[in-house]
A and B are shown apart, each in its own frame.
Chain A
Amino acid sequence: MSEALFEARDLSVSFGGIKAVRDVSFAVHAGEVFSIIGPNGAGKTTIFNLVSRFYETESGSMTFDGVEITNVPPHRTAQLGIARTFQNTELFEHETVLTNLLIAHHVHRRTNLVTDLLFLPGARRQELDFRRRVEDVIDLLDLQGYREQPIGGLPYGARKMVEIARALCLEPKLLLLDEPSSGLNPEETEDLSFWIEDIVADLGITVAMVEHDMNLVATVSNRVLAMADGAVLATGDPTEIQNHPDVLRAYLGD
């Protein structure tokens, strides 16, 4: 296995008296699909929020691509190459799909306030460049039909895909997907598994996802991390995890 793209060491965070995440360590290797599973309230999304720096870590540290990110501001993680989606979608509601995807190109911006105000030739070239790159992602995820539509009127499944598209527009190294299949029908979930494979194989993006659908997890993941009550139960390949006694106990009880 190649070396770790992302590494977390002994992460902990608590809210009031509840230890939401306890001494969690894991590594995501470049070019793999890494899934985090666990019952509700296990702390899966909390880990994502720690990685994208929305929560302060209480102890432990994180490195991404050789850079220590334990204390960087949230927008810095995106600039370094971590993109994410949200569990219940968090799109720019009043804007069209196109604008949503263009906003994601913010990290690639080469212009400044003055060139933007005057729309100098450099700003124009940049816009055309962004527009073309957005189209590549629209093509990849088959979003042509939604291009000009405002987010407010889109069905839920489409929103999920737009959110993944928006994260891809960042052209990240690591893509965090928070329950990508929730709210999708079985057919859409199957499409999703193909897309995740494409994203890894064709775009060379490493994927880490939180997911409940064990079918999807087993299909696409290289490695799985199982959690319960904020702590790691086991890490291993999908079949190993599905038969792990601790994991079975966490899901099914004794």
Chain B
Amino acid sequence: MRFVLKTNYAQDVNLFLHNGQRFWYGLLAVAVLLAPLMLDTFYLGEFAFVYIWAIAGVGLMILVGYTGLVSLGHAAFLAIGAYAHAWFLTQGVPFVVSVPLATAFCAVIGYIVGLPALRMTGIYLAVATLAFERIAAWVIEHWESVTGGHFGMRVPDPTVFGMSLDGPVPFYYLCLGILALSLFAALNLLRSPTGRAFIAVRDSEVSAESMGINLARTKCTAFALSAAFTGLAGSLFAHRIGYLAPDAFTVQTSIQLLLMVVVGGLGSLQGVVYGAIFLGLLPQAIAIGRDVLPQWIGEIPGLEPGIFGAILVLFLVFEPLGIHGRWVKVRAWFDQFPLYRRATYKRQRSYLRTERVR
């Protein structure tokens, strides 16, 4: 078991608490950087896809896991980011400008969507964002001059300073780099006043206000940031699928995004990555399973959404803190072996809530 002796305040501010963390995250960085040498093209593409999911997941985690606002409309931000980026590219905007533009555009839309959210929480907010998703889908289907309607639109190849990023290896590094930057930005957010304001709003709105936090502005900022990250993922997603059509972004995409952050573990950025790996690789696992299992199982209609739904329910019932929450427990078991007590993480019921003043 490790005890960290803190001798200066910078240790509470730095990203890594001790050298053990530096070592393991460094090893992980080397592994993902060298992955193209070891993996074949197919798996490289799948990993790039996982990274794209993770970028979108960072966005949704900020909203759901840290600010406590549920959204079933994030497929719309993914779509808006993808279409905006693709449209900018067809208008001749260079790639390095188009991505930030699409991201900023999503942030503005997110801020506006956040405004009605000020008065809603929980299931009501979920339904409102779902409605937003439907509206966005309708606009995409009918604004043919920009989106190509049902026929869709081709996404121009990504080129940076005359260099094509279309091949699997450059695209892998592009997604990896943007994921790393997104995680870095999110970590910075969480160790500074903006991110702490989100957490305050999640845990107690009354208290947050009496700490001088502007609820309205904080919630809108959370929505804008969340939409920005998801839109950023959308612009990469556009290149990944190559041809945009409305049926690429449905309610099921929204649910998958939400599934990712819940299964990964609400309130942790590691959880985003676990969730993205889970979400990105599960369809492959199901596909492999279809080949192996008896034919009558493989042919059950709706097998994939059914498995997704079943997993979500199982996690909510047995491990609400997701894969990350489970990992924390496993690590504690190893840390404290053989003295681990099962009751350490037993959920306690707290009766200490004050009567809400509103």
- With an 8 A cutoff between CB atoms, is B67 at the interface? no
Pair B352/A116 contact, Cβ less than 8 Å: no
Query: Given A54-B206, A127-B13: A156 and B188 within 8 A (CB)?
Result: no
Q: Which listed residue (B9, B191, B193, B353) contacts A106, Cβ 8 A?
A: B193
Partner of A156, one of B196, B225, B352: B352
Task: Count CB-based A-B contacts (< 8 Å).
Answer: 127
A105 close to chain B: CB less than 8 A: yes
* Main secondary structure on B side of the interface with A: helix
Residues of B contacting A128 in the complex (Cβ-Cβ under 8 angstroms): 9-10, 13
Instruction: Give the contact stretch, choosing among A16-24, A90-98, A194-202, A214-222.
Output: A90-98
| A103 touching B206 in the complex, CB below 8 Å, given contacts A90-B354, A92-B199, A159-B352 | no
Is B101 positioned at the interface, with any CB of A under 8 Å from its CB? no
Instruction: Give the residue name and chain of the A residue nearest to B12 (CB).
Output: A131
> Are the CB atoms of B206 and A86 closer together than 8 Å?
yes
B residues 190-205 with Cβ under 8 Å of A?
191-197, 199-200, 202-204
Q: Does A74 contact B (CB under 8 A)?
A: yes
Is the Cβ of A95 less than 8 Å from the Cβ of B358?
Answer: no
Complex contact B210–A74 (CB within 8 A): yes
A99 adjacent to B188 (CB under 8 Å): no
B284 within 8 A of A: no
Q: What are the residues of chain A within 8 A of B214 when measuring CB–CB?
A: 73, 75
Distance of A128 Cα from B8 Cα, bound (Å):
10
Q: Mark A110-128, 1 if CB is under 8 A from B, else 0.
A: 0101011111000110111
Docked Cα-Cα span, A135 to B13, in Å, equals 14
Q: How far is the CB of B334 from chain A (nearest CB, A)?
A: 20
In the complex formed, the residue of B with least CB distance to A176 is B210
Chain A residues near B206 (CB, 8 Å)?
54, 86, 90
Provide the bound-state CA to CA distance between A75 and B210, in Å.
6
A92: chain B residues at CB < 8 Å are: 199-200, 203-204, 207
Q: Measured between alpha carbons, how far is A128 from B199 in the docked complex, in Å? A: 20
CA–CA, A84 to B209, complex, Å?
11
Any A CB within 8 A of the CB of B189: yes
Contacts of B210 in A (CB 8 A): 52, 74-75, 77-78, 83-84
Q: Mark B313-349, 1 if CB is under 8 A from A, else 0.
A: 0000000000000000000000000000000000010
Contacting residue for B193 out of A93, A109, A124, CB 8 A: A109
Answer yes or no: A63 CB below 8 A from chain B CBs: no
Residue of B nearest to A76 (CB): B212
**Contact B203 A95, beta carbon cutoff 8 Å:** yes
| Candidates B9, B13, B194, B203; contact of A116 at CB < 8 Å | B194
CB–CB A74/B188 < 8 A:
no
The distance from the CB of B156 to the nearest CB of chain A, in whole angstroms, is: 29
Instruction: Say whether A40 faces chain B, with CB atoms less than 8 Å apart.
Output: no
Q: Residue A89 at the B interface, CB < 8 A?
A: yes
Taking CB atoms, residues of chain A closer than 8 Å to B357 are: 49, 54-55
Distance of B180 from chain A, by nearest CB (Å): 14
B196, B213, B348, most chain A CB atoms within 10 A: B196
Task: Return chain B residues, CB-CB under 8 Å to A102.
Answer: 196
B59 smallest CB distance to A (angstroms): 13
Task: Indicate whether A119 sits within 8 Å of B354 (C-beta atoms), given known contacts A91-B204, A92-B200, A92-B203.
Answer: no
Interfacial chain A residues near B350, Cβ < 8 Å: 93, 152
For A84, list chain B residues within 8 Å (CB). Answer: 210
Q: Which of B166-188 contact A (CB under 8 A)?
A: 185, 188
Task: Contact check, B203 vs A117: say whether CB atoms are below 8 A apart.
Answer: no
Q: Once the chains are docked, how many angstroms separate the CA of A116 from the CA of B62? A: 14
Question: How far is A167 from B185 in the complex, measured between Cα atoms in Å?
Answer: 29
Instruction: Provide the residues of chain B in CB contact with A161, threshold 8 Å.
Output: none
Q: How far is the CA of A133 from the CA of B180 in the complex (A)?
A: 32
Say how far B262's CB is from chain A's closest CB, in angstroms: 16
| Chain A residues with CB below 8 A from B195, complex form | 116
Q: How far is the CA of A52 from the CA of B108 in the complex (A)?
A: 32
Q: How far is the CA of A117 from the CA of B213 in the complex (A)?
A: 18
Q: A75-B210, A106-B212 are in contact. List 10 more A-B contacts (CB 8 A).
A: A91-B203, A92-B203, A103-B208, A106-B196, A107-B211, A111-B194, A116-B194, A119-B188, A126-B192, A159-B352
B contact residues vs A (CB 8 Å cutoff): 9-10, 12-13, 185, 188-189, 191-197, 199-200, 202-204, 206-215, 221, 225, 267, 348, 350, 352-355, 357-358
Return 15 A-B CB contacts under 8 Å, by A number.
A74-B209, A84-B210, A86-B354, A90-B206, A91-B204, A95-B199, A99-B196, A107-B211, A111-B194, A116-B188, A119-B188, A119-B192, A123-B188, A128-B9, A170-B212
Closest 8 CB pairs of A and B: A78-B212, A88-B354, A107-B212, A92-B203, A119-B188, A116-B192, A74-B209, A131-B9
